[in-house]
Structure 1
Amino acid sequence: MKDIKTIHLKFKELSEVNLIARVRNNRQGKVVSFLVLNDGTTINDVQVVYKEDTKGYEQAVQARVSSIVEVKGEIVLTPGKQQEFEIKATEISLLDQAVEDYPLQKKEHSPEFLREISHLRARTKTFQSVFRIRSLAAFAIHKFFQEQNFVYVNTPIITENDAEGAGEAFVVTTREDAKYDEDFFGKKANLTVSGQLNAEAYAQAFKNVYTFGPTFRAENSNTSKHAAEFWMIEPEMAFCDLKDNLEIIENLVRYTINYIFENAKDELEFCNANLEEGLIEKLNIVRNSKFVVNEYKEVIEILKKAVADGHVFEESNIEFGLDLGTEHERYICEVVNKCPTFVTNYPKEIKAFYMKQNDDNKTVAAADLLVPGIGELVGGSQREDDFDKIVSRCKEMGIDPEELSWYNDLRNYGYYKSAGFGLGFERLIMYITGSSNIRDVISFPRTPRNLLF
């Protein structure tokens, strides 16, 4: 029994084949009929030719879209045609007949409709391409870190801390009365919004670690970029400063994209043709560019000049302290630098409590990676290594230092310095595939008022 990927790879070496696959299309002609089959091992289908004298002909003509058939036949080379070979069937067996009103018939389906049938949409070429790329990208990320001796750490999914301090965590409880001191853990518990704080503890033991797991945000947002459940890659490196951090980010992004080019060529080409025109060209810019570094204060001056020269932003009140929007980020990396760009040293008021305060007492050693097409892709920083400063920063931001005593106390046990970053996996997959909505790069998306599967 051969799978279709193997048949495509070795069709010149094969003479007879036996395969089981799903029907994409079944077209009858006066003399010759055609089955188009796919078994999920590749986005490339195979065409099966059959006639009235083919064994099992009566079953074959009855096979509806999505039915499962077994085919035995001969490889016939078809040079000059779109597909270089086809299978001339000697025997066809209908193993399972799909219902007549199977939702995915041979026609165009809107993304909105396909989200309503997320249990079936992976059978389409679009989602086969997206989710194969997602699988390969995940493997590439693990491969990158493992080759550099990073330790993979599984951080808690249930936690008491809100690493970002945004108050958008899902509460985990066994009670209906909010008496958390009588709850399972004896205190209020949440689904994690980040594994970073726990990763920092393990970095002090192993030097270089990374997490790759689900995170959750109870943010009531229905935009194309937000989901309530998503995956994050969060490396943490001890004895590492911001400059070293940027180098690792750049290497990881380039490595992952290169891996997709090497291992998902057909899927990338499909996405380029069907999801985002110019996708491959966009990704080649990232692969082949040396990333630029601009300080936040430089970016503010560039944006001010753009406004003075007549460029119109939705937010044109450009002043130091502005939390850059996507329009500003894209202007910097698409119009000004025309390549991926790190923006560093942001005002501390718009960044998290754990970021290292710079000597100017105004900024922190933070960095965001901006890429053409979407803006921010990665956010990271050097972590505050001074115990008194991080406790003071917690108080300034309304965070009770006692609730994070285990984390803050790391500074008292031989900390020196540490740095890390967060890469939203779905945002990366959107970027690599050209998908315009986060709901289309997660198998079963979780969004407000949506818990269908």
Structure 2
Amino acid sequence: MSLTPIKQLLQSAEIGQTVTVKGWVRTKRESKNAIFIAINDGSTIHTIQAVTEPGRFSEDVIRLVTTGACVAITGTMVESQGSGQRVEVQATDIHVYGPADPDKYPLQPKKHSLEFLREIAHLRPRTNTFSAVLRIRHALAFAVHKYFNDNGFYYLHTPIITASDAEGAGEMFRVTTLDLNNLPRTEEGAIDYKQDFFGREANLTVSGQLEGELGALALSKIYTFGPTFRAENSNTTRHLAEFWMIEPEMAFYELEDNMNLAEDFLKYLVGYALENCIDDLKFLESRLIDEEKAKPQAERSPMPLLEKLRFVHENEFERVTYTEAIDILLKSKPHKEKKFQYPVGWGVDLQSEHERFLVEKHFKKPVILTNYPREIKSFYMKQDEDSSAAPGPTVRAMDVLFPGIGEIIGGSQREDNYEKLLARVHEVGIDPANIWWFLETRQFGSAPHSGFGLGFERLILFVTGMGNIRDVIPFPRTPKSADF
């Protein structure tokens, strides 16, 4: 008997057709005249119901059909007699692949907290919430590749192990084969990395950008999509130690082109989710509405999930400079009433509370901030020729800010002038010898180019409405947590 996914059966199965359903039991309910078994195989948020009368199967079989058990049920598709489903399976054969001890199986049919589910990350994909999140995650990963392929980009695989720090922050995980109980030392007493596997210090990458730029300066338009790592000791709802980044780099793109691409890309991804994940989004929206009933009115989302997604998809993003944004914040009511936790002033790195005020309270739409102070941005960003409108020197940076998230994309036009880039490298204390290959591209056929990074988990956070980034990746890596 060929296997048909439950999603397909619910959409197209004909009455009277013999089918075999394979999946995991969500619930079993017994009455005097019938036994109802709800099965889900992960292909859809919906379950399919199998029905049989008591006594048709042996007690030994029925006893094993409990929540969490893996089963195969063959039967005839019939019109459902109950509400909530169009069809159901009149069971003629039940096979239990793997039972689940009801006294030990932790996912009983009741509401579980997200904190508890993180402790059983090996089982939480079986819940409605996490199966929905993971299906949306898959759909958007596919959409990323489709968008770039359809727009003439080439997928570039950049290194996961690297000797360079693209962000210059130093928060990197070290990669080594040295014996930590017997480290080789130089005459000065320092660790002798020349005896390590790569003959030098090596780390897990924080970004594929630097290598991505090399690809763009040959193929014109490339993108990377891979895991990145930051050893930042942060336990916030917005940070992970291991996460996925999407990083396009484009030759001959200046700041305006970069902004246009970022806006079009985000709208495409949100639109793709609305078109292809509507059942899962409706479920997550209902979940979010129930969750927010317990919150004070002031803390509730201003729009339901689907309305928020359509709003972003259909509206133009507001574009303002960092200097203009600071002026707005200084004149804002929260600043005047000292309700911001962090200070506001030209030259400060904006915090999430500032970004969300601009998006959610002032403009009430997504915002692209540009032309940040040079001192708070990375060394590779192109310096503005004329910063007369700002109190200090600025760079051609751009950040896309979303409601509920804050920064979702960070990018810039890249510095293509060798002398300026080299001077900036020295300013921030990077040894030019460590990125000689990156600098050399500015000597051999340099070109204007731009790029940005989109944190994939932050995108999933926005699209699903989940409140914690740990709940949009299958197995989160955070400080003191790498259990699965």
Q: TM-score range by the shorter chain?
A: over 0.9
Helix, strand or coil at the partner of 2:141? helix
Contact 1:51 / 1:57 at 8 angstroms: preserved in 2? no
Does 2:85 align with 1:59?
A: no
- Aligned runs of 1:302-321 on 2, under 5 Å? 302-307=328-333, 310=336, 312-315=338-341, 317-321=343-347
Does 2:310 align with 1:284?
A: yes
Shift of 1:95: 2.9
Helix, strand or coil at the partner of 1:267? helix
2:135 match: 132
Deviation per CA, 1:2-21: give whole Å up to 9, x if none. Answer: 22111111134663222222
Of 368, 371, 383, which residue of structure 1 is paired with 2:414? 383
User: Percent identity at matched positions?
Assistant: 48
Letter in 2 for 1:323: D
Contact 2:15 / 2:77 at 8 angstroms: preserved in 1? no
Helix, strand or coil at the partner of 2:137? helix
Letter in 2 for 1:384: E
CA distance in 2, matches of 1:378, 1:260: 18
Deviation per CA, 1:265-311: give whole Å up to 9, x if none. Answer: 11111111113661111111110101110011110111111148845
Shift of 1:22: 1.2
- Aligned runs of 1:36-435 on 2, under 5 Å? 36-55=38-57, 58-78=60-80, 81-100=83-102, 101-175=104-178, 176=180, 177=183, 178-275=191-288, 278-307=304-333, 310=336, 312-315=338-341, 317-360=343-386, 362-435=393-466
Shift of 1:415: 1.4
CA separation of 1:259/1:78 partners in 2, compared to 1, >3 Å: closer, same or farther?
A: same
Contact 1:133 / 1:260 at 8 angstroms: preserved in 2? yes
CA distance in 2, matches of 1:215, 1:426: 12
Deviation per CA, 1:308-338: give whole Å up to 9, x if none. Answer: 8845432464221111111111111111111
Shift of 1:62: 3.6
- Give the CA RMSD over aligned residues: 1.7
Letter in 2 for 1:205: A
Helix, strand or coil at the partner of 1:34? strand
Gaps of 5+ in 1: none
Greater shift, 150-159 or 442-451, is seen at 442-451
Shift of 1:96: 2.4
CA separation of 1:395/1:59 partners in 2, compared to 1, >3 Å: closer, same or farther?
A: same
Helix, strand or coil at the partner of 2:250? strand
CA distance in 2, matches of 1:14, 1:214: 48
Of 6, 9, 27, which residue of structure 2 is paired with 1:7? 9
Letter in 2 for 1:412: Q
CA distance in 2, matches of 1:385, 1:14: 68
Helix, strand or coil at the partner of 2:407? strand
Letter in 2 for 1:124: T
Deviation per CA, 1:338-379: give whole Å up to 9, x if none. Answer: 111100000001000000000136000000001111111100
Letter in 1 for 2:260: E
Letter in 1 for 2:480: R
Deviation per CA, 1:18-71: give whole Å up to 9, x if none. Answer: 222211111111111111111111111011111025345651244121112221
Deviation per CA, 1:394-421: give whole Å up to 9, x if none. Answer: 1111111221111011111111211000
Shift of 1:80: 8.0
Shift of 1:241: 0.2
- Count residues in correspondence: 453
Contact 1:50 / 1:57 at 8 angstroms: preserved in 2? no
CA distance in 2, matches of 1:401, 1:309: 42
Contact 1:54 / 1:92 at 8 angstroms: preserved in 2? no
Letter in 2 for 1:25: T
CA distance in 1, matches of 2:16, 2:174: 57
What's the TM-score, normalizing by structure 1?
0.96
CA distance in 2, matches of 1:166, 1:13: 62
Greater shift, 275-284 or 121-130, is seen at 275-284
Helix, strand or coil at the partner of 1:224? coil
Deviation per CA, 1:175-228: give whole Å up to 9, x if none. Answer: 122321221111111100000000000101100000000000011111111111
CA separation of 1:305/1:14 partners in 2, compared to 1, >3 Å: closer, same or farther?
A: farther
Of 464, 467, 475, which residue of structure 2 is paired with 1:444? 475
Shift of 1:231: 0.4
